[in-house]
Structure 1
Amino acid sequence: MSVEKQKKTDVDALQEKLLRHRLGGGRSRARRRGIALADRSGPLRLSFGQQQMWFLNRLDPDSAEYLVPLAFRIRGTLDVAVLERAWNALLARHEILRTRYTLTDGEPAQIIDPPQTVGLPVDEQRDVPGGERGRRADARVAEDARTPFDLEREWPVRARLLKIADDDHVLGVVVHHIAFDAWSARVLINELGALYEALDAGREAPLPELPVQYADYAAWQRAQEADGALAEHLTYWRERLAGIGPLDLPADRPRPAHRDHEGADVSFVLPDGLSEKIHKLALRHNTTPFAVLLPAFQALLARYTDRSDIAVGTVASGRTRPELQGLIGYGINNLVMRSSWRGDPRFAELIEQARDHLVEAYDHQSVPFARLVDELQPERDMSRTPLYQVAFTLHERGGERVELPGLTIEPHAATGSVAKCDLELQINSAPDGTFHGQLVYATSLFERDTVLRMSRHFVRLLQQAVEDETTPLSRLDVLDAAERALVTAGPRFSRPVTRTVHELFEEQVARTPDAVAVVAGEVSLS
């Protein structure tokens, strides 16, 4: 085994040691109890996450913010009829994909429909020139991703197959967040591939029976609250987030009165060798790369805001029990990672703090984020997300590509970005251990050039912090030579100040009274 592979293995083992036992087991009595099957004779209550999504959908039923768009490129000889059968088998296997939502006695409840055959629409694109088909397919997938669901009357999932060539297709899938999360995406594509392969070969599907369905999990989660199992965790978060305030980044435009979901993204790469150094630094601190990348991002946010109390949201899978590993549904939970410091600490101190806070946060992740918001009751503000406005996620890529006899199925980027908060840093970890970055931003606040500059600042700060972890935060530079010259160079010329600004303005008005002074959209004022 090479030295590089051994180092990656060491980090993986360390991650297993530090986090998996806390994600997969736990110290509370409630976690150790198995998930029982729910009583189906009465209304089936929603999980906390479902209820939050249901409420947001009722608040703005036409919004596409909480739709999860997926696209898969299928290359090879595809039997469309078999794919349709596989799709229906997947819908039959997971109740959550056949669930509607209605009010029962004033409370939202799940209505699980029996399995039924659903057609898989196929867009042949016969009249579209060959060179245009890929772009048209992507446009159709993006259009579907903006089409809302009627959660009371429709199942929360739809799919469409777009034919680019006889051996090239795009499968577009849209699922409402009330029934889906990032973990579910991997379950969906792996199971769909297994079902297709078995049906195509005339065999029974090799998938084991699910021990529980999502409705069972929702009932179990609600029972924990009734038993008081969340009280200890609520106490932790109440103390941890006491006095938390909004984080306002310098923006290009004023914050709108109502936040919208329109977003865009900027991708960037880390310089050669930096990913390996991040792994080594994490290993030295007995932690994972998450606890190196997060404080670097928080240090950048501190530089932008001149604050030393930075709250950043992140996501936990929420699947802390083995019964939930193969389940499709809304299982994630949002956690608030708050870091604060006095003076001018070394970057190494922020890593230590992040490591400890990360372990504590996962220990207390049982509190659903919606329940936490209800408990803390932050000031209601329709212009920003509650408790955090900036997010950080670390995704491990790998396993999404499915190889079948004569077919390859892999993710296909064909949809735009949705900004779930002001700014989100997404770091993707490739199978070879390298990291790739993406900043997703609210277009109502930021211009693309601003976010491109942010990505360069993050990489520069991260490089310096990883090279020498003893560097104080104030010494971590974010400006490159050109930017530094711009802000430090003196004026190109100087002249004595003899008049005030308003006097100079009045003189210019007298010289050119009819010149355009202000332009706003189509309106120009002299």
Structure 2
Amino acid sequence: FRTPVTPAEQAVAAVFAEVLGVERVGLDDDFFELGGNSLLATQVASRLGAALGAKVPVRALFENTTVESLAGAVESQRGDDRRPLEAVERPARIPLSLAQQRMWFLNRFDTESSAYNVPIAIRLTGDLDVDALQAAVGDVVARHESLRTFYPEAEDGPVQVIVPAAQAVPDLTPVDVPETDIVAAVQELAATSFDVTTAVPLSARLFRVREFDYVLAFVVHHISADGSSMGPLTRDLMTAYVARSQGDAPAWEPLSVQYADFAIWQREVLGDEDDPESLAAKQVEYWKQALAGLPDQLDLPSDRPRPAVQSFRGGRVDFTVEAELHRRLADLGRRTNTTMFMVLHTALAVFLARMSSSDDIAIGTPMAGRGERELDDLIGMFVNTLVFRTHVDSDASFTELLGRTREADLGAFANADVPFERLVEVLNPARSTARHPLFQVGLSFQNLAQAALELPGLTISGLDTDMEISQFDLHLIVTDRYSDDGTPTGITGYFTYATDLFDESTVAEFAARFIRVLDAVVDDPALPVGDLPLLDTVETARVLEAWNDTVHPTAS
């Protein structure tokens, strides 16, 4: 173990440790071998830039993966003048963040839709202090302004209006619900309709299943929170409950910034698109070139024609990648200096190209958008969506295509500050109520920190309630798992799909074919992607027999 010595080495080691949750990091430790991935790399680049006053591109981390080499690379990049994120004096009218703006317009378009609700349900078994829980929820709403904000329209557009906590705290008087109806009750709450212009878009219920058995369910509109907000929400709720059950107020450190501070800061950092030297102008120009001529729609073989209006009704098909295949995929990534995200992204692009007979594939991926350390403990809408475009040359080997994907992904990560919502406005694709703009297939890597749920006198577990919603035609959501020593132990995943288009059996076959692609690329990554087998032996035999069956019945 070699100890980091210089300020730059110490800063790199500290950021690696913080982002990856590792206690001790030395000069020779490698970011990706410690468990880093493409999406966490963007967080490291942002935090390292803030710590050292340097511009640290994501590419630098891929080219200098150890603490020592990255410290040397960033030493030469000093002089970043990006304004730090801090609490500021509020203007009379607080603007929405750019991501919130699209959520606001989507809500105005359809206030009945629950497609952009973020639900969470927790089962509490044991001696629950209901009064302490009610007070704790009040503490959390008071702590996070985003949970007590609504978004009316002013003369020059929507604004944030923050109300006192007492006006926004939901009533947690227990509602009796039998075990047989609890999932339906949570789903009904999760499907709450919000008009974000008139009231705080937050609702909660405490369901009592029987004595000593409760379910606490929350739902908040995406304009006020995202998936990564569930960590701070549960952590703060537990801290407050423990304090309140002992007759105390929670003794937490005050938050250094609130969401309104972020919204103001974001606009300052991006600058004016009319200024060619601004971050916004440079990144918008990148995306104009990267996505020029992108097809409006990817057509996969479906069971039904696309309806005129997307309903967001969805289903889900689960699958598993076994540990041995996971290990071989990780080995392929190491040999090609790519991450598991890049390997799976390339494989998905190949699968989609083969299924759609298109060589121009766009896939959308959500990014946590929490690069600044100050956002770690904040509830709010920070997530941004990147559009990854892949030109799939059927004659290219998987290794070649993976190399090109790596370059395209790094380019996208380096231009991740401009919100997707702004890209839609700038690129102005043909608008349609029938599909998602710019891409119809999503890829999500789940690396949300799982908050350990522990409360005195209570057993706590999550309650999985499938919302039966799909925002895209098809959405691949994966979690890669590793043992304590870093050994791959398998990938769990599922496809959500639009039931307007697909039957469950069709998507189950999609999943099987996707895994077949993964198997094939580790068996022979030099094979042209157009030759990768998609069918199993039974399907292949059936197809060949049908094609070659030239015997036809004749009249006697």
TM-score range, shorter chain: 0.7 to 0.9
Which aligned pairs between 1:106-145 and structure 2 lie closer than 5 A? Answer: 106-116=156-166, 118-125=169-176, 133-145=178-190
TM superposition shift of 1:171: 1.2
User: RCO higher in 1 or 2 (8 Å CA, sep ≥ 6)?
Assistant: 1
Deviations 1:140-177 (A, max 9, x none): 11011112012223211111111223333211111101
- 1:286 paired with 2:343, answer no
Contact 1:25 1:32 in 2 (8 A): no
Q: Identify the match of residue 328 of structure 2 among 259, 277, 280.
A: 277
Question: How many equivalent residue pairs?
Answer: 488
TM superposition shift of 1:108: 0.6
Residue 50 (structure 1) aligns with: 100
Q: What SS does structure 2 have at the residue aligned with 1:310?
A: strand
- 1:486 paired with 2:542, answer yes
Q: What are structure 2's unaligned runs of at least 5 residues? A: 1-21, 23-28, 50-54, 57-78, 273-277
Deviations 1:73-130 (A, max 9, x none): 22332211111111110000000110011111141111100121734334443xx6xx
- 1:249 paired with 2:300, answer yes
TM superposition shift of 1:353: 2.2
Residue 153 (structure 2) aligns with: 103
What is the CA–CA distance in structure 2 between the aligned matches of 1:488 and 1:254, rounded to whole Å?
Answer: 28
What is the CA–CA distance in structure 1 between the aligned matches of 2:93 and 2:41, rounded to whole Å?
Answer: 40
What is the CA–CA distance in structure 1 between the aligned matches of 2:107 and 2:80, rounded to whole Å?
Answer: 31
Residue 506 (structure 2) aligns with: 450
What is the CA–CA distance in structure 2 between the aligned matches of 1:267 and 1:168, rounded to whole Å?
Answer: 29
Which aligned pairs between 1:96-495 and structure 2 lie closer than 5 A? Answer: 96-116=146-166, 118-125=169-176, 133-227=178-272, 228-245=278-295, 246-396=297-447, 398-430=449-481, 432=483, 433=488, 434-490=490-546, 494-495=551-552
TM-score, normalising length: structure 1: 0.87
What is the CA–CA distance in structure 2 between the aligned matches of 1:355 and 1:239, rounded to whole Å?
Answer: 18
What is the CA–CA distance in structure 2 between the aligned matches of 1:326 and 1:18, rounded to whole Å?
Answer: 19
Residue 14 (structure 2) aligns with: none
Larger Rg: 1
TM superposition shift of 1:247: 1.2
Residue 18 (structure 2) aligns with: none
1:36–1:16 Cα change, 3 Å: closer
What is the CA–CA distance in structure 2 between the aligned matches of 1:103 and 1:214, rounded to whole Å?
Answer: 18
Residue 508 (structure 1) aligns with: none
AA partner of residue 135 (structure 1): T
TM superposition shift of 1:38: 4.2
Residue 523 (structure 1) aligns with: none
Contact 2:228 2:448 in 1 (8 A): no
1:134–1:464 Cα change, 3 Å: farther
What is the CA–CA distance in structure 1 between the aligned matches of 2:32 and 2:386, rounded to whole Å?
Answer: 27
Contact 1:11 1:288 in 2 (8 A): no
Contact 1:401 1:411 in 2 (8 A): no
What is the CA–CA distance in structure 2 between the aligned matches of 1:76 and 1:170, rounded to whole Å?
Answer: 11
Residue 510 (structure 1) aligns with: none
Contact 1:145 1:415 in 2 (8 A): no
Residue 94 (structure 1) aligns with: 144
What is the CA–CA distance in structure 2 between the aligned matches of 1:371 and 1:76, rounded to whole Å?
Answer: 48
TM-score, normalising length: structure 2: 0.82
What is the CA–CA distance in structure 2 between the aligned matches of 1:366 and 1:31, rounded to whole Å?
Answer: 16
Contact 1:214 1:329 in 2 (8 A): yes
Contact 1:421 1:442 in 2 (8 A): yes
Indicate the percent of aligned positions where both proteins have the same amino acid. Answer: 36
Deviations 1:209-236 (A, max 9, x none): 1111101111112223444321111111
Give the root-mean-square deviation of aligned CA atoms. Answer: 2.5
Deviations 1:259-316 (A, max 9, x none): 1111111111113422222222222222321011111111110110112221100011
Deviations 1:182-207 (A, max 9, x none): 11111111221122122223444243
1:380–1:13 Cα change, 3 Å: closer
AA partner of residue 220 (structure 2): V
TM superposition shift of 1:39: 3.7
- 1:10 paired with 2:60, answer no
TM superposition shift of 1:9: 7.4
Contact 1:335 1:361 in 2 (8 A): yes
- 1:72 paired with 2:127, answer no
Deviations 1:12-56 (A, max 9, x none): 157699544334355388873112434434111111111111111
Q: What are structure 1's unaligned runs of at least 5 residues? A: 499-526
TM superposition shift of 1:348: 1.5
TM superposition shift of 1:347: 1.2
Contact 2:312 2:470 in 1 (8 A): yes
